[in-house]
């Protein structure tokens, strides 16, 4: 079974702090994604990566950056946390191999509930 893990389930930070959220997948997936989920707004894509050291902006990249130094790990960085970044953060991965039975199927981690005070 695909497993996507996130470094923390709950995180409380102060305004201005630098915050790292880490995501690891164990299925050798090429694609990895970071979303945030807020009530009434659904899931919004922050960044995604289709290969090591590659990244693409999603719909709401402002205030965030990402790092993908290894295929299995995708990090989301809040350079200077603000209260409007309080949210649920969800990481996902998917396969780019058309021969895989799970081709283009997204698998999600358990989420990190971040509160910025």
Partner 1 sequence: KQEVTQIPAALSVPEGENLVLNCSFTDSAIYNLQWFRQDPGKGLTSLLLIQSSQREQTSGRLNASLDKSSGRSTLYIAASQPGDSATYLCAGSTSNQFYFGTGTSLTVIP
Q: Which residues bind partner 1 (CB under 8 A)?
A: 4, 31, 33, 40-43, 45, 48, 50, 88, 90, 92, 94, 96, 102-111, 113
Tokens of 45: 């894509």
* Minimum distance from residue 16 beta carbon to partner 1 (Å): 27
Shorter beta-carbon distance to partner 1: residue 85 or 95 = 95
Shorter beta-carbon distance to partner 1: residue 80 or 112 = 112
Shorter beta-carbon distance to partner 1: residue 79 or 96 = 96
Shorter beta-carbon distance to partner 1: residue 77 or 100 = 100
Q: How far apart are CA 108 and CA 14, in angstroms?
A: 27
Helix (H), strand (E), coil (C) string for the chain: CCCEEECCCEEEECCCCCEEEEEEECCCCCEEEEEEEECCCEEEEEEEECCCCCCEECCCCCCEEEEEEECCEEEEEECCCCHHHCEEEEEEEEECCCCCCCECCCEECCCEEEEEC
* Minimum distance from residue 102 beta carbon to partner 1 (Å): 7
């Amino acid at each position: 079974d695909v497993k996507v893990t996130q470094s923390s389930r709950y995180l409380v930070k102060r305004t201005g702090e630098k915050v790292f959220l880490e995501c690891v997948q164990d299925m050798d997936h090429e694609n990895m994604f970071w979303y945030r989920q807020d009530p009434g707004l659904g899931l919004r894509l922050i960044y995604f990566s289709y290969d090591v050291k590659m990244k693409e902006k999603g719909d709401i990249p402002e205030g965030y950056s990402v790092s993908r130094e290894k295929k299995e790990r995708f990090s989301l960085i809040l350079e200077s946390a603000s209260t409007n970044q309080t949210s649920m953060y969800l990481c996902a991965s998917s396969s780019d191999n058309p021969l895989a039975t799970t081709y283009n199927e997204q698998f999600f981690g358990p989420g990190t509930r971040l509160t910025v005070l």
